Amino acid sequence: MLPRFLLALTPLLFTTAAYAVDCDNATDQATMNQCAAQQHKTADKELNALYQQINERLKSNPESKKLLIGAQRSWVAFRDAECKFASAGVEGGSVYPLIYSNCVTELTKARVETFKNYLKCQEGDLSCPVPGA
């Protein structure tokens, strides 16, 4: 037999699972903002995974690793400042999280493509900062 407090929580467990956000058919601002944040989280997760792969390839070159860290920190600062500027016209409004998140996501996706290209470097390509696998 379940304790009473667990019985009281049971509806909450099923309500959360049943309420999946339908981003393809989002019609209200709160849902659109939530979906934009989820898209950014997905892109950021991919970026971080690629960053770790590049970091691993640079383990025998501490100077290049240091340069990567500096470049990434500068890129994050640029991305955040650029998106703050790009969304300044709607700052304080309900659409701001959507506009800001979309900007951050697009710039993150572009950085993902840059990292993917770094990971495709061929051994001996002197124009590429990441050694081939």
What is the domain partition of the chain in residue ranges?
A: 29-119
Helix axes 96-119, 29-57, angle to 10 degrees: 20
Residue type, position 55, single letter: N
| Whole-number pLDDT of residue 38 | 94
Residues 118, 83: Cα–Cα separation, whole Å = 25
Q: Which two tokens stand for residue 129?
A: 């900062």
Residue 72 or residue 1, greater confidence = 72
Cα gap 87→129, rounded to integer Å: 33
pTM, entire model: 0.80
pLDDT, tens only, 86-103: 999 999 999 999 999 999
- pLDDT, residue 115, reads 97
CATH of 29-119, one of 1.10.150.120, 1.20.1270.180, 3.40.50.720, 3.50.30.30: 1.20.1270.180
Residue 66 has pLDDT above 70, yes or no: yes
Q: Dig out the tokens for 70 from the structure.
A: 């500096």
- 62 in helix, strand or coil? helix
